[in-house]
Amino acid sequence: MDSTVAPERRRAQLWVLTATHAANDFYTGAVAALLPFFVLHAHYSYAAVAGITLAATALSSIAQPGFGYLSDRYGLGWISLAGLLAAGAGVALSGFFSSSYIVVWVLIAMSGIGVAAYHPAATMQAREAGGGTTAAMSLFSVGGNAGVALAPAAAVAVVGAFGLRGTGLLIVPAVVLALAYFVVARHQLFRRVKPRDVAVAAHTDLRDDWRAFGWLTAVLATWSVAYVGTSTFVVLYCVARFHSTPDYASIALTVFPAAGAVGTLAGGWLSDRVGRLPVLRCGYLAGVGGIVAIVLAPSPLVVFVATGALGLALFAPFAGQITLAHSYLPNRIGVASGVTLGLTLSLGGVVSPLLGMIADGVGVRWVFVILAALLAVGFGTSFVLAERAPAQIEVVDVPGDAEAASATSVT
């Protein structure tokens, strides 16, 4: 970040970025919240709605590292706003075409690509604005939790009032927050940024550790399946097992990310003090317990409580996982962000159709048994990981092709 930018403006940028993150991830939550209505009103099967989850994530899983590479190579901060608007447009239009599964699939896929485009550039911007600390990253991350938490109530309200065509109103958060961030940080959105000098990057402490990053990605893959699987099936689980109405069951989709927001903030604070890996391991282990509690729950109310505990546990390591990825790939912050925030989250969506087939075949309850087992594997694999001190990262603003205007260090 340009050293001439005042601390007050940096804080303002971080807070507005956090709000745009809320708007962006609102659409991920909206997709999950709309699934029961596609089942009830458009008569989609469990496998079909799991396919919609796949649409929201599959292309995103491919595109996200690519957007991360572009963010590393060219800056292109404006991609974050373009992605936010695409994410909103896809979800907003989906309800108008519920009679055509293929069109809905394409629109949700467009939304997923928008979410993918947003994350790497926005994460790099948040890293600069917040000084690279885990606590600052947890604040940015919690915006995503807040957006996902607000989505079910908004989706239920618009569909309840206007039917599936009410999804058109869901475009409002994208437009409002995109405009707000453009006003606050337009100078950051349209500058070109290049990585620090390659000769500096050749220093031993600053080399990219792809092996460690690969192990971290494997751990995060189990997190992804647990997160996406819970988001996709917890409402359907309550409807199928306890005959809850979708409106009542959707409380779980509010509790899950709301508790996750608390976990993200607390986990970021703890990670800066006791270390990222202890928080990660405790979170994964507690997450296994939360999923087991969902499986054994005797009532929807207990499911809601257990889902809240699961959200708290899963998101406690979230910001630490991002900064750990940055420390493993200090020269590829965009790629690290793209994989950590996108590819690993999307892997859960890729698995969702298989989970949907299992739910159709033997019941939704067995989906959560599988999720608990996978998260336990992630906990065990995490012991391969090691802490790595964050390196200083220089960001060079390039107003033209020939010369750099300024440079500053961000830890």
User: What percent of the chain is predicted at pLDDT more than 90?
Assistant: 31
More confident residue, 183 or 307: 307
Domain membership flag for residue 249: yes
Give the mean pLDDT of 239-265: 87
Give the mean pLDDT of 110-116: 89
Which pTM was predicted? Answer: 0.71
- Residue 64: its pLDDT value, please? 76
* pLDDT exceeds 70 at position 408: no
Give the mean pLDDT of 170-190: 84
- Residue 128: its pLDDT value, please? 76
- Residue 411: its pLDDT value, please? 33
Distance CA 189, CA 76 (A): 7
Tokens 């997190």 identify what position?
A: 223
* pLDDT exceeds 90 at position 374: yes
Alpha helices in 243-275 (DSSP H): 246-249, 251-274
Q: Which helix H or strand E contains 305, and what residues bound it?
A: helix 300-315
- Residue 369: its pLDDT value, please? 95
Amino acid identity at 280 = L
* pLDDT exceeds 70 at position 407: no
CA distances from 227 to 302, 311, 369 (A): 19, 8, 14
User: What percent of the chain is predicted at pLDDT more than 70?
Assistant: 84
Number of domains in the chain: 1
Give the single-character DSSP code of 97: G
- Residue 189: its pLDDT value, please? 65
CB of 350 within 8 A of CB of 58?
A: yes
Mean residue pLDDT of the chain comes to 82
Q: For 277-307, how does the pLDDT look when each residue is reduced to its tens digit (9 = 90+)?
A: 999 999 999 999 999 999 999 999 999 999 9
Domain membership flag for residue 322: yes
Give the mean pLDDT of 371-393: 85
- Residue 201: its pLDDT value, please? 41
**Segment among 164-173, 201-210, 359-368, 380-389 with least mean pLDDT:** 201-210
Q: Give the HSE-up count for residue 375: Cα atoms under 13 Å, Cβ half-sphere.
A: 30
Give the mean pLDDT of 148-156: 85
- Residue 195: its pLDDT value, please? 43
CB of 260 within 8 A of CB of 314?
A: yes
Give the mean pLDDT of 73-100: 86
On the 0-12 / 13-18 / 19+ scale of CB atoms within 10 A, 402 is: exposed
* pLDDT exceeds 60 at position 136: yes
First-residue to last-residue Cα distance in the chain: 12
Q: For 186-201, how does the pLDDT look when each residue is reduced to its tens digit (9 = 90+)?
A: 766 665 544 443 333 4
The encoded tokens of residue 163 equal 């039917």
Give the single-character DSSP code of 192: E
CA distances from 286 to 312, 329, 372 (A): 9, 28, 10
- The helix/strand count (H/E) of the chain reads as 16, 3
**How many degrees, rounded to 5, is the angle at CA 239 between CA 48 and CA 351?**
35
- Residue 406: its pLDDT value, please? 36
Distance CA 160, CA 165 (A): 10
DSSP bridge pairs for 397? 193, 406
* pLDDT exceeds 50 at position 203: no
More confident residue, 324 or 32: 324
Query: Cα 171 to chain center, whole Å?
Result: 19
Q: For 255-273, how does the pLDDT look when each residue is reduced to its tens digit (9 = 90+)?
A: 998 898 899 889 988 988 8
Domain membership flag for residue 2: no
- Domain limits at 18? 7-410
**How many CB atoms lie under 10 A from the CB of residue 403?**
7
- Residue 405: its pLDDT value, please? 36
Domain membership flag for residue 1: no
Distance CA 257, CA 25 (A): 10
CB of 390 within 8 A of CB of 411?
A: yes
- Residue 400: its pLDDT value, please? 44
CB of 125 within 8 A of CB of 77?
A: yes
Q: Could you tell me the strand order of the sheet in which 406-410 lies?
A: 192-194, 393-398, 406-410
What CATH number should be reported for the domain holding residue 293? 1.20.1250.20
Distance CA 398, CA 87 (A): 29
Give the mean pLDDT of 235-252: 88
The encoded tokens of residue 95 equal 């309800």
Give the single-character DSSP code of 197: P
